[in-house]
Structure 1
């Protein structure tokens, strides 16, 4: 159970950080959405989307590769880190030059260009911090990443609040993001050099070739996650981007719940790949089960409370986003499954399979957006996101099934233990009684149903007891 305890500890650390960062992100996004308005918020969202796609090229999968290799053999960390850092510096310089050429395309002008350049610097600084976080993950010392997440969120929050208080504009907001990234990077460098070692600097063509499948996967994933915002800005304008990104930001907050778990479970899976195939299969199947159990109530609760959520967080100006939120939230369960399945395939050296699936999905998503956005605006982008996630889930499950890691027929047959409580909860939410009363009742009914139907079996209880004993 030692790996279970390690996984639980690291998940707890990352979960604590995620809860804090999500609360902070809620605050600054609410302030920005209200303060900048739909157009200004759209400019910032477009800059984050556009530079986010480019920033992945600065990593090119090196971070994920280092996490996997260090988890398998920590004794080789020194040589790996030196090569990884050298490669990252070279790639970052190339990417920054590419972003500087964007104004020459004529697609963006004035304030948008300034914000894009500043946010590009922010993304590159954050990329170096992510490099060190990958090392912390490989060494399974998630507490340092937890502190980084909290500090980074605090720096951004304080910067945004300062800009609002001083009456700044969207350019000043971009500068606040950049300053926060620089301060956060200084923390990462200080902790790593003091707690572990001072990294050298080298270059490894072999590492780049090994990491490229991870990098291409990240590029496709980033395109998929951000291309809808870029396409909306070009086809419909900044207001549509703002109306779409309000619910989409909420979705990314929810998605961060599964990213916490996948970040913790990836090094564990990587170690199990060389130690025990049975343990790897067990970890994957249980992960799917737990994530689905968590995703189901999130979907029906957010769907039911969409109106007060949007109105409370973003104000009545964003009420048009309610329908988009209800569409987008249905993608949650599929995102959870896709995230942990991607980690499994990467841990068993099948990163090229992940690359092919995400590449196919990215192309599929772009085509859907080209078809749906001109006709349905940001609702079309929302529908394209959900359809693409379902498509990816099908492809991922086919891939793991061929490797012998897919859910067993017994697992599929036991799905009723989750679906039945979920159905009861949905019926409660549909009753003509105040949603503020029925929502907590529906959630309670779901939790009780999970326990009554035995969705959590004796093995799950043993795992929980093991974790509790470790905490004691």
Structure 2
């Protein structure tokens, strides 16, 4: 299968997964947040952020390092996956166990229970996400779709039932834990039956060498995780759980769209690593195509969320005023969606060239700037200040990384990007008028129709390209596993 067809199929599978999970997740999040209240919702989100940030030390970049190696040399898959599971499993157990011990020694009540459950849930997530490196390296993205969809459906069903029985946020957190354990089991099953069993054959000395070689990517992952989790943790420390709840109400919705850039990079990652090593011109065309896709998806999502943020917050969280301030937070965070799309694309050549050191320095400066901005803004502006800090440092890191990869800029078709910008501006105007006249759903329908029509009219994309993409999806459909 050609790289372009493979990337198109992988992107389609991952986008399908994300679309399904986004719809289910938004409905469930709204129900959960309304049932437990803004304070308990904020405490729950803070516990997830704490568990997420302490696992920064788990695995020290082993997953990313070995995924890149397997993408180039697939025969290394069983041994490398075994090494990744051994390293990340041990380090994850140690750091999360230490976190639980500290929390139980210093806190009590619901907050402590939530952190303990979140830590156990995070350990299961750490293990199944490690196994995903084989699916990604061998481009078997449909297996991720099966495992995640099954587990999320289980979580939503069980949590909804428990909340309906009046069991509260701790019971919902326990359901999340069970869902992650189920996802771990499903992932292990698909790994054994569709690919291979991990081989735990490497001696400790070899594992230590892998860990050392993974440090640059590990530092990169640690900084990225810290940037993602810092807002909720600082809001909890400098403000209160209600500020975390308001910010999280917007953050969770925006996160569903923020994951789309990860889908884009994930679908192109393996092919990008190969093309960079073998055919730089083909890699450049891949880079330019990914940047066009980033604009095609990122710009209209940002415009639509900015316009409809109050309607979305009311639809998901109800008409009660507790979550109303989240609308302005969502508007600011939405502006960062195209920024994240573009950032994922411009970092692709840095990853392919193994310039993790440059990326580490960039994200370290970004994290320091984010902490400083949060210290300045949070005491006065609370959740809105955190959103502004996130947008500001995201834009800064994009500009810096763009400068680091300037040699690839000539592969980006500027005329098409301008056409997408024009189509987005016209879409936003039409959607605004439709919202005033007929409400949110009419606004979405009109905006989507106008946007697609203008993309074709302005030649940002063509009918021929759309037909080719559809044909690729049909011809590239995977054969049933035997």
TM-score bucket of the superposed structures, by smaller chain: over 0.9
Give the Cα–Cα distance (whole angstroms) in 2 for the partners of residues 246 and 430 of structure 1.
Answer: 24
**Aligned residue for 2:453?**
448
Aligned length: 468
Query: Is the CA contact (8 Å cut-off) linking 2:56 and 2:226 kept in structure 1?
Result: no
> CA contact under 8 A between 1:66 and 1:135: conserved in structure 2?
no
Task: Provide the rounded CA distance (Å) in 1 between the counterparts of 2:293 and 2:399.
Answer: 19
- Aligned partner of 1:61 in structure 2 is 61
* Equivalent residue, structure 2, for 1:415: 417
1:105 to partner: Cα distance: 8.1
* Residues 148-169 of structure 1: CA deviation (Å, up to 9, x unaligned): 1112211221221132133212
Of 314, 317, 332 in structure 1, the residue corresponding to residue 317 of structure 2 is 314
Deviation, 1:12, is 1.9
TM-score by length of 2: 0.92
Equivalent residue runs for 1:73-472 within 5 Å: 73-103=73-103, 106=106, 108-201=107-200, 202=202, 203=204, 204-316=207-319, 317-401=322-406, 404-408=407-411, 411-431=413-433, 433-436=437-440, 437-456=442-461, 460=465, 464=469, 467-468=472-473, 470=475
Task: State whether residues 246 and 321 of structure 1, in contact with CA within 8 Å, keep that contact through their aligned partners in structure 2.
Answer: yes
- Counterparts of 1:172 and 1:426, CA distance in 2: 42
Deviations 1:162-194 (A, max 9, x none): 321332122222211111111111112222123
Q: CA deviation at 1:425?
A: 2.4
Note the residue ranges of structure 2 that are not aligned, 5 or more in a row.
478-482
List alignment gaps of at least 5 residues for structure 1: none
Q: How far apart, CA to CA, are the structure 1 residues paired with 2:443 and 2:58?
A: 48
Are the aligned partners of 1:305 and 1:435 in contact in 2 as well (CA < 8 Å)? no
Deviation of 1:462 after TM superposition, in Å, equals: 7.9
Q: 1:469 to 1:158 in 2, by over 3 A?
A: closer
SS in 2 for 1:415: helix
1:274–1:463 Cα change, 3 Å:
farther
Supply the distance in 2 between the matched residues of 1:442 and 1:29 (Cα, whole angstroms).
Answer: 26
Which ranges of 4 or more aligned residues in structure 1 deviate by more than 6 Å? none
Mapped contact 1:18–1:149 kept (Cα < 8 A)? no
Asked whether the equivalents of residues 38 and 243 of structure 1 are also in contact (C-alpha less than 8 Å), the reply is yes
Given that 2:14 and 2:263 are in contact with CA atoms closer than 8 Å, whether structure 1 keeps it comes out as yes
Match of 2:5 in 1: 5
* Larger mean Cα displacement after TM superposition, 12-21 or 29-38: 12-21
Contact 2:59–2:84 under 8 Å retained in 1: no
Superposed displacement of residue 29, structure 1:
0.9
User: 1:325-361 deviations in whole A, cap 9, x for unaligned?
Assistant: 1111011100111123233321221222222222221
1:440 CA drift (Å): 2.7
